[in-house]
Amino acid sequence: MRKKIVAGNWKMNTTVAEGVALAKAVVELAGQTPDNVGLIVAPPFTHLCCVADVLKGSKVELSAQNCADHESGAYTGEVAVNMLASAGCQWTILGHSERRQYYGETDEKLVEKVRLALAGGLKVILCVGENLDQREAGKHFDVVSEQTKNVLFNFTAEDMKSIVIAYEPVWAIGTGKTATAQQAEEIHACIRKVIAEKFGEAVAEDLTILYGGSCKPSNAKELFAEKDIDGGLIGGAALKADSFIEIAKSF
Ligand code: PEP
């Protein structure tokens, strides 16, 4: 059985004190979630060490929201994988649409980042997803397949054990518009097929694929009931511990 995961992407929200309080609240409620559902929080870089302390001994794992595309050196403002690992991260999100859209993150750069993350012992949540124009032009399957191939076909079946994919249609992120369960399921099934073609059925069957885009307690149950949807990457609804935990109880 592949792993179910609910991950909270806090984006550029909360002060350190607010982030610590949110992490504490998540830890307090984490016991209400099923044992087979993994929980991850992804606070801003500045919060990682403090939040790592709060998460110690709980089932909640820690993720960064990004990492540098170099190992170390003269890259002002960047944060390297070994820094994230030493701050207590087990994961990093990579390729979020906001990084692709506002910070010029390309698939080529992502190959390097995934390589460095895995080499440094971090697991990766790789985000893919089409924008509204691409969906309206009927190109969503192609766009998502290409993003998946461009990055992940540079890796091995063994590497895939440390990678989770998050399908996040850009038109659904932070907009209140959720993909229907059927729209999400058909893309998840497509991603799994792409992975199966390259790495084989067993790797594809084991791959956790999350849905992200205005996922909340009121729609999580329907989305998570789909056979290829293994959980969620949650933005807005992860900023309140009770809604984040409610989502994780929706399986
Ligand atoms: C996200 O940014 O990863 C996300 C899914 O955001 P939201 O849940 O707010 O749409």
What's the domain count of the chain?
1
Residue 238 neighbours by CB under 8 Å, 6+ apart? 7, 8, 9, 10, 41, 244
Phi and psi at residue 227, in whole multiples of 5°? -70, -25
CA distance readout (Å), 35 to 102, 106, 119, 164, 244 = 37, 36, 29, 19, 16
The atom number, within ligand 1, closest to the CA of 237 reads 8
- The CA distance from 10 to 168, in Å, is 15
Q: How far is the CA of 197 from the centre of ligand 1 (A)?
A: 29
For position 174, what pLDDT does the model report?
Answer: 85
Crossing angle, helix 217-224 and helix 241-248, to 10 degrees? Answer: 20
For ligand 1, atom 7, name the residue with the nearest CA: 235
Q: Say if ligand 1 is within 6 A of residue 234 CB.
A: yes
What is the pTM assigned to this prediction? 0.98
CA of 229 to the centre of ligand 1 (A): 16
| End-to-end Cα separation, the chain, in angstroms | 14
| Whether 248 contacts 33, CB under 8 Å | yes
Domain harbouring 11, CATH code: 3.20.20.70
| Per-residue pLDDT, 218 | 96
pLDDT less than 50: residues of the chain: none
Q: Smallest Cα–Cα separation from 207: which of 88, 125, 101?
A: 125
Q: What pLDDT shows up at residue 110?
A: 98
Would the CB of 121 count as within 6 Å of ligand 1? no
- 3-state secondary structure at position 123: strand
Please answer whether residues 214 and 180 qualify as being in contact, where contact means their C-beta atoms are separated by less than 8 angstroms: no
pLDDT confidence of residue 176: 83
Residue 144 is predicted with a pLDDT of 98
User: What residues are labeled active site?
Assistant: 96, 168
Full residue range of the structural domain in which residue 207 is found: 4-249
Residue nearest to atom 4 of ligand 1 (CA): 235
The confidence score (pLDDT) of residue 1 equals 79
Q: Interior CA angle at 148 toward 250 and 10, to 5°?
A: 45
